[in-house]
Amino acid sequence: MRELDQIKGFGPKRMEALAARGITSASDLLERLPVGYRDTTRPLSPAQMTDGTEGCFAGFIVNKPTLQRARGMQWVSAVVGDEWGKIRCMWFNQSWMKDRLHETQHVVLYGRAVRKKNGLFVINPTLEEPGRITPVYAPVPGVGQKPLRDAVQQLLEEYDIPDDLPQSFVERYGLMDRRAALQQAHFPTDMQSLEKAKERLAFEELILYQFAVADACAHRGEARPIAVQAEWMEAFFARLPYAPTGAQRRVIEEVAADLRGTRAMARMVQGDVGCGKTLIALCALYLCARAGGQGALMAPTEILAEQHLQSAVELLAPLGVTCGLLTGKMTAAERRRAREAIESGTWQVVIGTHALISEGVNFARLDLVITDEQHRFGVRQRTKLEEKGMSPHVMVMSATPIPRSLALVLYGDLDLSTVDELPPGRTPVKTRIVPEEKREGLYAFIREQAAKGRQAYVVCPLVEEGENADQRSATQELEELSRALAPLRVGMVHGRMKKPEKEDALARFYEGSLDVLVATTVIEVGVNVPNATVMVIEGAERFGLAQLHQLRGRVGRGAQESWCFLMAEPNERLRTLVNTNDGFVIAQKDLELRGAGEFLGTRQHGQMPAVVLGGDARLIARAREAFLEVSRLDTYAHERCVLSRAGKARYARSGIRFARN
C-alpha cells in the first residue's frame, strides 16, 4: 500500500502539517474519522431555516448579491428563496462570493440560521454539491478538506485493511465488515449505513479497550501492604469539624482494605460536586503517613493544589503529619528545598501540580499516589507519578459523575467507589433558564449580588470573536460586561492564555479583587471560590448536561444562596438541570441523549483514544455484555486470546501503558 508521501500533492509541507496532528501513516489517516457530515441529499427550504437550525438548504438567489463595507469589515449579502419562503445569507471577508453568485442562480448551501436584532440570517454558509453526503474532517492547517477527502478515498481503494475482530465474533454480533465500515464512515451512501459503520467501529474500540484494561488489571503489581488500624481511622474522624457521611465512611473502608493488601490499589473514587472526595483523599494520605510511608496528591491547577495543601495542613498537622507543596511557579530555591524535603522523607504528604512528575523529584518511600480531577491528566502523566515509587497504591478522583455502565468500560482496570451522598446542610444551587430578552434583568441581579460582596462567573463557549459567528465569545463578553456592569471589576480567563496569566486571573478572583470572571470551560474544575454565588452560562444549549452541571458546581460552595443562569431558549433537555441537582441522574440523561463521545467532551491526549466514538448507552451495555460473555465461557477461548492480543497491541501503539508492574 502506498504511504502518504506517495500520494499526489502530499509534499513535505503537507506531511509536516499532518504529522503535527499525529497523522504519520496511511493507517493514521484512515483511522481519523470525519467530525461531521454535510448531507445535501434532502435539502431544506429556506423557510425551514429557523433560529438555531443547522443544515443544508436550497433555493434561488432572489436579488443581485451586494458587497457592503462598514467599520473596517466587508461582507457579501444575498437573499435565497423558493416558493415557501426566503432567508438572507451573509459572507464576511469573502468578497469573491459576489462573483460566484448571480440573480436567479439555484444554489445548495450549508450553514446555521441565527436571529440577530435586525432579523434572521445564515452567516458564512458554504456552497455544496447536491445529492451527496460529504465528510468534514477536523481542520489540519495547511491541508484543505478536498485533499484530505481525495487521499482517504485513494487509500480506501488500495489499502488491505486487516480486521482485529475474529470473523466468528463479527458474525455472532451482526457487525459490519471493517473495510465496509471504514468506507461508509468516510463516504456514506446514506445515513443508515453511516450509523451501522459508526456502531461497528465504536463496538470494536469498546471491546478491544476492555480486553486491554483487563490485562492491565491482571498484571497489577505487588505493593507494600499498609497495616491500617481501625483506631487510625477513628483518630482521623475525631479531628473533623463534622461527622463524615455514610458514603465517605464506606469508601474510606474500601480504600483501607486495598491499602492492607499486597496487590497495588487501583481505585477510582467518583462523586458529585461537593460530596467530600477530598476528605477521603486526605484520610488515605494520613493512613499512609501513619504507617511510615509517603503519599502524593497531584492536582490540575496551582490554585487547587494550594487549597488542598491548606486543607491538609489544617487537618493532618495536628495528627503529626508533615505536609508540603511543589508547583511550577515556585522559585528555584523553593523548588530545591521542596525536592530535598521530599527525597529525605521530611514531608510525609506531598501536594502539587505536574511539577511532581518533573525530573529531579525523588521520593523517600512513595506508597500512595492520588490524582485529583483525573480526567485532566493523561495516562502518561499518571504513570510518570506512579513510577516515582515502587508499585505504589493508586487512587484517582473524579467530580464528573459517570454512569456505572460507562465507568465499567472506561475504567475496567480500576475498582470503582461511588460517593453517592452529600454532606448535610449543603444548599442546592437554584437554576433558571434565561432567554435573551431578560438579559438586562440578569445584569441587574449580578449588580445586586456584587453590592452584597458576592462574585459571579460568566462562561462563554468560545474564546474569540469570529470562531463561530452565532455564539458569544469571551473577548466580546469581557468588552460588553465591562460597559454594562461598570464600575464592577471584570476579568477574563481562558485556555489560550499563558499559564502564569491564567493562574494570576484565577488568583485575583479567588482573592476577591475581581467581581466578575469571564471564562471558558477552563474553570470547569480546579476552582473553589466560596464567595462566588452566580454562574451565568452563555449559549447553554451548546454544552452537554454533565458539563453544565460541572460548571454549576463552581458556585454554591459557601453558605450563601447561589444561582446558575442558563442563557438559552427553554427546552426539555435544559429543564433537566432546573429540576435536579443530582449529578448521576444528569449524567445518565446526558449519556442517553448525546452518546458517550459527546458526554465525555474532548478526548484527552494519551488517555482513551477513540474508545467511545459516539457509542450510546445501548451500545456500551451491549459491548460490556459481549466482553463478559467471551471472558467467561471456555467456548470462546480462541476469541478471547485474539481479542486480548489485539487490544494490547492497539493501545500499546497509542503509547498507553496498562500494566502497573
Whose cell is 481542520? That residue is: 139
Give the rounded distance of the alpha carbon of 627 from its chain centre.
26
Residue 597 is predicted with a pLDDT of: 53
Contact call for residues 478 and 490 (beta carbons, < 8 A) = yes
Q: Look up residue 530 and give its DSSP letter.
A: T
For residues 193 and 132, give the distance between their C-alpha atoms in angstroms, rounded to a whole number. Answer: 14
Q: How many helices (H) and strands (E) does the chain have?
A: 22, 22
For residues 522 and 554, give the distance between their C-alpha atoms in angstroms, rounded to a whole number. Answer: 12
Kindly tell me if the per-residue pLDDT of 323 is higher than 90: yes
The average pLDDT across 268-287 equals 91
Highest mean pLDDT among 18-22, 230-234, 520-524, 618-622: 230-234
The average pLDDT across 481-496 equals 91
Provide the pLDDT confidence category of residue 57 given band limits of 50, 70 and 90.
very high
Kindly tell me if the per-residue pLDDT of 138 is higher than 50: yes
Structure confidence by residue, pLDDT tens digits, 521-579: 888 765 678 899 999 999 998 888 888 998 998 898 877 899 999 999 888 889 999 99
Contact call for residues 617 and 405 (beta carbons, < 8 A) = yes
Kindly tell me if the per-residue pLDDT of 8 is higher than 60: yes
Residue 423, C-alpha cell as written in the block: 454532606
Integer angstrom CA distances of residue 203 from 196, 208, 579: 10, 9, 33
What percentage of the chain has pLDDT greater than the value 90? 50
Residue 550, burial from CB neighbour count under 10 angstroms (0-12, 13-18, 19+): buried
Structure confidence by residue, pLDDT tens digits, 175-188: 999 999 999 999 99
Q: Which residue has the higher pLDDT, 125 or 559?
A: 125
The average pLDDT across 442-455 equals 95
Kindly tell me if the per-residue pLDDT of 207 is higher than 60: yes
Residue 531, burial from CB neighbour count under 10 angstroms (0-12, 13-18, 19+): middle
The average pLDDT across 22-45 equals 88
Strand pairing class (393-398; 266-271):
parallel
The average pLDDT across 286-300 equals 94
Contact call for residues 552 and 564 (beta carbons, < 8 A) = yes
Integer angstrom CA distances of residue 321 from 224, 248, 316, 346, 361: 20, 21, 5, 10, 20
The average pLDDT across 116-121 equals 87
Amino acid residing at 151: A
> Which has the closest alpha carbon to 358: 324, 327, 399?
327
Residue 614 is predicted with a pLDDT of: 46
Residue 471 is predicted with a pLDDT of: 63
Q: Report if pTM > 0.85.
A: no
In this predicted structure, which of 249-258, 389-398, 417-426, 472-481 has the lowest mean pLDDT?
417-426
Give the rounded distance of the alpha carbon of 318 from its chain centre.
38
Q: Look up residue 459 and give its DSSP letter.
A: E
The average pLDDT across 224-232 equals 91
Residue 375 is predicted with a pLDDT of: 54
Residue 514 is predicted with a pLDDT of: 95
Contact call for residues 559 and 481 (beta carbons, < 8 A) = no
Integer angstrom CA distances of residue 387 from 105, 132, 341, 660: 65, 52, 19, 9
User: CB-based contacts of 59: which residues, under 8 Å, 6+ apart?
Assistant: 45, 46, 80, 81, 82, 86, 106, 107
Residue 595: strand, helix, or coil: helix
Strand partners, 366: 294
Residue 81: strand, helix, or coil: strand
For residues 519 and 532, give the distance between their C-alpha atoms in angstroms, rounded to a whole number. Answer: 14
Q: Which residue has the higher pLDDT, 309 or 545?
A: 309
Structure confidence by residue, pLDDT tens digits, 142-200: 898 889 999 999 999 888 888 999 999 999 999 999 999 999 999 999 989 998 998 89
User: CB-based contacts of 393: which residues, under 8 Å, 6+ apart?
Assistant: 223, 226, 258, 259, 264, 265, 288, 367, 368, 369
Strand partners, 111: 55
In this predicted structure, which of 287-296, 397-406, 463-472 has the lowest mean pLDDT?
463-472
Give me the chain's average pLDDT, please.
86
Residue 220 is predicted with a pLDDT of: 66
Structure confidence by residue, pLDDT tens digits, 344-359: 999 999 999 989 999 9
Q: Look up residue 554 and give its DSSP letter.
A: T
Residue 617, C-alpha cell as written in the block: 448507552
The average pLDDT across 41-59 equals 92
In this predicted structure, which of 25-39, 297-311, 372-386 has the lowest mean pLDDT?
372-386
Indicate the angle between helix axes 178-186 and 191-218, nearest 10 degrees: 120
The average pLDDT across 499-513 equals 88
Kindly tell me if the per-residue pLDDT of 655 is higher than 50: no
Residue 608: strand, helix, or coil: coil
Strand pairing class (366-371; 532-537):
unpaired
Residue 180: strand, helix, or coil: helix
> Which has the closest alpha carbon to 201: 523, 619, 657, 661?
619
Structure confidence by residue, pLDDT tens digits, 580-630: 988 888 887 877 776 655 554 433 333 444 444 445 667 888 888 999 999
Domains of the chain by range and CATH?
1-38+145-156 (no CATH), 42-127 (2.40.50.140), 230-260+275-398 (3.40.50.300), 430-580 (3.40.50.300)
Integer angstrom CA distances of residue 1 from 5, 48, 154, 184, 302: 12, 46, 10, 20, 49
